[in-house]
Amino acid sequence: MRERHRSSWSMARTEGFAPAKINLTLHVTGQREDGYHLLDSLVVFADIGDRITVMPSGTLSLFVTGPMAAGVPVDGRNLVLKAAQMMGVGAEIHLEKHLPAAAGIGGGSSDAAATLRALVEMTGRAVPGDVLALGADVPVCMLARAARMAGIGEIALPVVGLPDLFAVLVNPRVAISTPEVFKRLACKDNARMGPTPTQWDGAAGLCDWLAHQRNDLQAPAVALEPVIGRVLDALSLLPGCLLSRMSGSGATCYALFGNRDEAEGAAGVMRAAHGDWWVRAAQLR
């Protein structure tokens, strides 16, 4: 009976959550002859993000609403539609956009992954085998949990045992081009991330380990958009901040904390001081 229900596509809508992806580390370890960069990154996901709703339809359509909907394409440039086309199904898709675009937190990739998960649930079809074609972050966003991402994104291995970790995420409302950041990276053959510990001494121990790792794109992103440096400086001064760093290719940066109260209090400080910046407190997993 369950398979019959699936094959007939119940008209009940299917919903999905697209969490913000945070690069706690991002080491650029090489570049292939085809131009793709080799990465080594510890990735976690926040409890804030976009929301996807899909309904069966004879055609494929996308509607975008939400506080960050302005400027989001609703045509074939959007990874949500590309993901649905990869599934080969018709659907009416509603994207409720809460994350800033071109922000280094995988908004588009996480939206695509959430769309794939929702369409798989709605139709009973298998996940397509070539999700990497949608972008380097899509495989790890399909996991939507702590993972070590490597290669050009095709390797995404779950990481277990991370301590409770809370963050303040800040974007100065500057969209930044990932290709432009990579162009400014002086060295593209950097050391890999160190071995991932199997045990952590709480959030402070994790941040001590992270302090010996890097985001190789942070310096070129700051050179491209100096406001990122101002964000990092402001985050580093927040009470209780254990570590501040940029995520992905920017411009979103984060400060890490050991408990929710500290993170929420710090977010309030940032909003009061920088009312024009996008600021959110989140738990990372």
**Which of left, alpha, beta for 66 (phi over 0: left; psi -120 to 50: alpha)?**
left
What confidence score (pLDDT) does residue 11 get? 54
Tell me the two tokens of residue 242. Answer: 């254990």
Q: Which of 50, 111, 137, 216 is catalytic?
A: 137
Q: CB neighbours (10 Å) of residue 133? A: 10
Q: Is 97 an annotated catalytic residue?
A: no
- 116/139 Cα distance (integer angstroms): 11
- 247/242 Cα distance (integer angstroms): 16
**Dihedrals phi, psi of 133, to nearest 5 degrees:** -65, -20
pLDDT in tens, 60-102: 999 999 999 999 999 999 999 999 999 999 999 999 999 999 9
- State how far Cα 2 lies from the chain centre: 33
Q: Does the pLDDT value for residue 50 go beyond 80?
A: yes
pLDDT in tens, 151-187: 999 999 999 999 999 999 999 999 999 999 999 999 9
How much is the mean pLDDT over the chain?
Answer: 94
Q: Which ranges constitute the DSSP H helices of the chain?
A: 2-7, 79-87, 107-123, 138-143, 178-183, 202-210, 218-224, 227-236, 260-273
Tell me the two tokens of residue 236. Answer: 């580093």
What confidence score (pLDDT) does residue 10 get? 47
Q: Which of 21, 40, 50, 97 is catalytic?
A: 21
Q: CB neighbours (10 Å) of residue 199? A: 7
Domains present along the chain, CATH in parentheses: 2-155 (3.30.230.10), 160-284 (3.30.70.890)
Q: Is 21 an annotated catalytic residue?
A: yes
Could you tell me which of 43, 282, 23, 47 has the C-alpha nearest to residue 167? 282
Could you tell me which of 120, 58, 69 has the C-alpha nearest to residue 94? 69
DSSP 32: -
Please indicate, yes or no, whether the overall pTM of this predicted structure exceeds 0.85: yes
